[in-house]
Amino acid sequence: MEIIAVESQAYQELIDKLNRIEQYVERTSRLIQDIDDELEMTTKDLIGTLNVSESTLYRWRKKQLVRYRYTEGGDVRYFFKSIVIATKCNRLRVSGMKNDEILGRLNRFKDNLIMSSCINPKNRQL
């Protein structure tokens, strides 16, 4: 076995860099979790993302497969995390799509939303 010798100062600098990386990963993980917890999709978002009909969304609500809420204006908002969980638990079916494809489309929707809010800071509503 080889022994690697490192100067005390170089070692401390390396440890400091590793600690900063760890803190960054933790902050990023919390941010992504917060986004998943707060993100809502409109009926139009789901129709466009998953290529489903309004009737399908109505059936999902009626069978309580996903969490949703009504806005003051009467529109429906679907909780992103609920859709992801229902997909992973095989409660949601989309004709012609496997779960991996559904999850991929949902993640692309989220990524595009994040990227567009980074590019245009006026649209920072989640």
What does the pLDDT look like over 39-90, one tens digit per residue? 999 999 999 999 999 999 999 999 999 999 999 999 999 999 999 999 999 9
- Segment 7-36 shows an average pLDDT of 80
DSSP per position, 5-38: ---HHHHHHHHHHHHHHHHHHHHHHHHHHHHHHH
Predicted confidence band of residue 126 (pLDDT cuts 50, 70, 90): very low
What does the pLDDT read at residue 121? Answer: 57
User: Over the Cα atoms of the chain, what is R_g?
Assistant: 21
- Model confidence at 104: pLDDT above 90: yes
